[in-house]
Amino acid sequence: YTAGFNYTLSPSLVTDGVFGFTDMDQTVGIPGQDQNVGLDVWRIPGTNGGRQFANDRRYGGLPNLSGFGFSNLGVAATWTPLFRREKSATYQQNFGWIRRNHDLRFGFEVRRLMLDHWQPETANPRGSITMAGAATNIPGQVGREANSYAAALLGLVDNYNKSVQFFEMVNREWQNAFYVRDRWQVNRRLTVNLGLRYEYYPLITRGDRGIERWDPFTNTVVLGGLGGTPRNAGITTSKLLFAPRVGFAYRVGDKSVIRAGYGITYDPIPFSRPLRGLYPATITGSFVTSQAFSWFNNINEGIPDIALPDVSRGQLTLPPTIDMGPRSAWGGQINRGYIQSWNFMLEREILKGTIASAGYVATRTINQLLDRNINTIGPGGALNLANLPLAQAHGRRIAANMWD
């Protein structure tokens, strides 16, 4: 929805404004979503919502069964289902003022971004079951499909994998900007554009609480706004994001013009999606046999309950076998990258009504935010605990992505 206006305040001063609102719902379901197939039809305990979320139909549908000698049975896609509602509201107010040979333009812009997101995508939310084919295999012999099928007939499970959505991912954030621009007609041949934009991006929140942060040095997850922990969890954003812009156009004679410009633009990426699912928002349970030619349990026993944490103290220790989620920001100030843009153009009328242009245009991104796995040696290298202080004590042998 969009609405706008413009109003003449005086012969030299006008104002205009625009309001926009977007409301987008997205649902990606799976076959049998309205039924707990694994729990009520296959009678496998712990599948779908298990005892903990048995009445939550978002965990409904077919679990995934593999390792029984044939193709997978069920739905293997761990990223499904998803339920997302995304809303955004924007308001811009601008003023234009002509004063002698100055054309001034100034105003502000306010954005409110809201994302409600349910998607426990770190593992299969209905449950994933792999049969223990090695349990029916003679040690030293090559395992065959018949071994897997025999293990399935006996109900011998090698491993289970399952995820739950402990916190629904509710994200709220503001984006604010103010700007001023002066188009100055210095003389008949020279026009100069001078501009300055100020932007402020407050840290996102989770609606009724703050943001989470993982500290890799202590293996602690800090929960903003819970248990006396500050809502920002030790993360700050800059209040000094000034973006200058400058340009000029110069007429050389009656047929040629030189144009050039330079400007800085800060990356306006919303943080709601990249920082949406840190532990314990999504919790993955992995239950695997620890002995060769053995099994974890019988399928009649099913998937054990996933341990749900007590978040009342505002701090948690990240278990060694649990993925922290997509990524975590470091403590301290999180810095947005910025883009430098510049150009130089020549224009000349070569024939009446025909203009030729030649020029150079370039952009360069500085300090772009990206994922960095701090448990790796480097590009193309393997995991290396030595790169992370105290990592050996934590046993963090899985990917540890920090956003910086």
Return d(Cα 268, Cα 369) in angstroms, integer: 11
Question: What is residue 157's predicted lDDT score, i.e. its pLDDT?
Answer: 94
Q: Which residue type does 194 have?
A: L
Q: How far apart are CA 327 and CA 155, in angstroms?
A: 37
CA distances in angstroms from 239 to 26, 202, 234, 242, listed in the order given? 34, 9, 16, 9
Sheet holding 401-403, edge to edge: 328-329, 401-403, 371-373
Instruction: Identify the three-state secondary structure at position 41.
Output: helix
Query: Residue 322: its pLDDT value, please?
Result: 73
Exposed e or buried b per residue across 205-233, where buried means at least 16 C-beta atoms within 10 angstroms of its C-beta: bbeebbbbbbbbeebebbbbbbeebeebb
Alpha carbons 71 and 209: distance in angstroms, whole number: 44
Please identify which residue in the block is written with the tokens 């046999």: 289
- Confidence at residue 247, expressed as pLDDT on a 0 to 100 scale: 97
3-state secondary structure of 295: coil
Instruction: Find where tokens 């042998």 sit.
Output: 397
Q: How far apart are CA 214 and CA 400, in angstroms?
A: 10
Dist. CA 399–CA 404, nearest whole Å? 15
Q: What is the pTM of this model?
A: 0.83
The CA-based diameter of the chain, rounded to the nearest angstrom, is 94
At residue 28, the pLDDT reads: 95
> Per-residue pLDDT for the chain (404 aa), expressed as one digit of tens each?
999 999 999 999 999 999 999 999 999 999 889 999 999 999 999 999 998 898 899 999 999 999 998 888 999 999 999 999 999 999 999 999 999 999 999 999 999 999 999 999 889 999 999 998 888 888 777 878 898 999 999 999 999 999 999 988 899 999 999 999 999 999 999 999 999 999 999 999 998 899 999 988 888 899 999 998 999 999 999 999 999 999 999 999 889 999 999 999 999 999 988 888 788 988 888 888 878 788 999 999 999 998 889 999 999 988 776 777 788 999 999 999 999 999 999 999 988 889 999 999 999 999 999 888 777 666 666 555 555 544 554 555 556 788 88
